[in-house]
């Protein structure tokens, strides 16, 4: 008779429709990102750092451990996402809309304070980063556009690696204590 490994409990992931609606609303409010990514020389190809920055959400979606799976929505962060996005809509400040989108994405995974580095690195895909980097590196050659893009990608990659390392350490501690 074969013994089953009971250390990993599979649970059915149930989407939280309220959180999904807030995330879709924040993404819809941030539609100016696409315009900035297409037209601004400092924000050229900045969708690449956004995709890299969202990798922890993909990692969580594939994790078989229920504690680290998606669906553990942080409701306080999701409420903050909605509030900041609404505030950005009322004040017509796009930076607040983008910040609301970042809150909505971060709220999808299980939050621990060490993920703050990942949240702050959301600036790597926001147009404000291109604005300030463009002031530091004047656009005298096309190489500076790619320098800014490289800097954005490096910041997003470092943040993703930090989140991956922290989550891996949390899982090891949890398995040792179990």
Query: Residues 115, 104, 61, 31: is their CA dihedral positive or negative?
Result: negative
- Distance separating alpha carbons of residues 135 and 67, to the nearest angstrom: 43
Domain range list for the chain = 17-177
pLDDT of residue 158: 95
- Distance separating alpha carbons of residues 106 and 50, to the nearest angstrom: 12
For range 100-108, the mean pLDDT = 91
For range 125-133, the mean pLDDT = 89
Query: Residues 37, 38, 39, 40: is their CA dihedral positive or negative?
Result: positive
- Distance separating alpha carbons of residues 165 and 69, to the nearest angstrom: 16
Full-model pTM: 0.82
The answer to whether residue 142 scores a pLDDT higher than 90 is no
The answer to whether residue 60 scores a pLDDT higher than 60 is yes
- Distance separating alpha carbons of residues 136 and 102, to the nearest angstrom: 25
As a whole number, the mean pLDDT across the chain is 83
Alpha-carbon distances, residue 129 vs 19, 27, 174 (angstroms): 27, 19, 37
Going by pLDDT thresholds of 50, 70 and 90, the confidence category of residue 66 is: low
The residues, any chain, with a CB within 8 Å of residue 173's CB and separated by 6 or more, are: none
**Span 4-52, pLDDT tens digits:** 545 544 445 455 788 889 999 999 999 999 888 888 888 888 999 999 9
**Which of residues 35 and 61 earns the better pLDDT score?**
35
Among the ranges given (41-50, 56-65, 113-122, 126-135), the one the predictor scored with the smallest mean pLDDT: 56-65
The residue assigned the tokens 């993909």 is 58
| Phi, psi at 115, each rounded to 5° | -75, 0
**Which of residues 25 and 144 earns the better pLDDT score?**
25
């Amino acid at each position: 008779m074969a013994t089953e490994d009971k250390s990993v409990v599979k649970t059915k992931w149930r989407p939280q429709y309220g959180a999904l609606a807030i995330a879709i609303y924040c993404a819809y409010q941030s539609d100016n990102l696409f315009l900035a990514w297409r037209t601004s020389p400092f924000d050229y190809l900045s969708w690449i750092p956004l995709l890299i920055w969202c990798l922890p959400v993909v990692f969580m979606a594939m994790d078989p451990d229920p504690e680290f799976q998606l669906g553990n929505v942080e409701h306080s962060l999701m409420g903050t996402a909605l509030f900041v996005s609404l505030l950005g809509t009322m004040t017509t400040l796009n930076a607040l809309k983008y910040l609301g989108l970042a809150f909505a994405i971060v709220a999808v995974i299980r939050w621990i304070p060490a993920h703050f580095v990942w949240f702050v690195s959301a600036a790597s895909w926001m147009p404000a980063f291109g604005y300030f980097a463009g002031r530091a590196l004047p656009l005298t050659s096309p190489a500076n556009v790619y320098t800014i893009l490289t800097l954005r990608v490096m910041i997003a990659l470092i943040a993703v690696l930090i989140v991956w390392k922290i989550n891996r350490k949390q899982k090891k501690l949890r398995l040792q204590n179990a």
